[in-house]
């Protein structure tokens, strides 16, 4: 799994000092909501926990395989949500009856909660892609990694209306043993990729399609983007790739957990 977009920390530069205050406020409110009533509140033992409140640890091994089996393909969409491109990606996925995994940046989810909810309503899965898409996270302290992962988890969960991300994809593949273990302890399976479509570089829809056809034998998890710039080529490529996969006997599903 090669690192994609190395050195891109284009979201991090937008965060600034104000984000720290926002994250503290957001984190406090979400954690308070998840923690349940105060000690002096009436007991609610008979009230079952909602799915978003139940956290079950998962494997810390980076996932690549598909739940759909040997002929399964995982469509993964990174860096959004984006108000221009995410709706177009969703439309293409709906047109071909495909479910995907959306790896969302915390600040983007916080800015566009309507889109996060739309992704969830369409039956797609959520993935934590850190707060600020810092591709140098693996060089940073464990405290910083923890902040990037857990704060993004809270931001995405709040934006979705309570649906938690079930995967964690490190920006640029900058995983560490610590970050993988931490994410897994929060029920987020570390998620890799097998086919980097290079759509972020905008090589043209033909090149994106050719990359998928050439590299799909390497494994089932495909990497696309719905934010970070003009994603028209990604939309065009998906419109061509998805029916071809079906014609070739593939089933688009979710990564293993």
Backbone angles phi, psi at 68, to 5 degrees: -80, 0
Q: Among 211, 205, 197, 212, which Cα is nearest to 235's?
A: 205
Cβ neighbourhood burial of 257 (10 Å; 0-12, 13-18, 19+): middle
Contact 155, 131 (CB under 8 A): yes
Cβ neighbourhood burial of 241 (10 Å; 0-12, 13-18, 19+): buried
Give yes or no: 225 in active site.
Answer: yes
Give yes or no: 64 in active site.
Answer: no
* CA–CA dist 189, 214 (Å, integer): 27
Q: Among 147, 120, 150, which Cα is nearest to 51's?
A: 120
In 156-245, the DSSP E strands lie at 167-168, 189-190, 195-196, 221-225
Give every CB contact of residue 146 below 8 A, 6+ residues apart in sequence: 182
Contact 83, 115 (CB under 8 A): yes
3-state secondary structure of 135: coil
> Which position among 4, 78, 133, 226 bears the catalytic label?
78
- Report in angstroms the alpha-carbon separations of 191 from 4, 59, 92, 95, 217: 14, 11, 23, 26, 18
> Which position among 112, 124, 129, 225 bears the catalytic label?
225
Active site residues: 78, 225
């Amino acid at each position: 799994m090669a690192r994609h977009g190395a050195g891109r920390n284009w979201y991090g530069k937008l965060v600034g000092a104000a984000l720290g205050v926002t994250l503290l406020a957001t984190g406090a409110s979400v954690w308070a909501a998840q923690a349940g009533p105060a000690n002096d509140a009436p007991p609610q033992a008979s009230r079952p926990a909602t799915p978003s409140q139940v956290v079950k640890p998962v494997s810390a091994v980076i996932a690549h395989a598909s739940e759909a089996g040997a002929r399964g393909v995982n469509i993964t969409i990174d860096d959004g949500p984006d108000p221009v491109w995410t709706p177009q990606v969703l439309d293409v996925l709906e047109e071909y009856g495909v479910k995907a995994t959306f790896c969302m940046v915390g600040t983007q989810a916080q800015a566009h909660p309507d889109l996060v909810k739309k992704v969830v309503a369409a039956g797609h899965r959520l993935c934590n892609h850190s707060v600020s898409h810092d591709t140098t996270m693996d060089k940073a302290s464990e405290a910083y990694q923890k902040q990037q992962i857990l704060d993004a988890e809270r931001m995405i969960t709040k934006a979705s209306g309570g649906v938690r991300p079930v995967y964690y994809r490190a920006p640029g593949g900058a995983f560490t043993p610590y970050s993988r273990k931490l994410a897994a302890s929060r029920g987020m399976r570390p998620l890799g990729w097998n086919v980097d479509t290079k759509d972020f570089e905008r090589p043209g829809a033909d090149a994106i399609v050719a990359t998928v056809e050439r590299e799909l034998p390497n494994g089932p998890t495909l990497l696309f983007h719905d934010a970070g710039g003009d994603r028209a080529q990604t939309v065009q490529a998906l419109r061509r790739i998805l029916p071809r996969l079906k014609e070739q006997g593939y089933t688009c599903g979710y990564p293993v957990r």
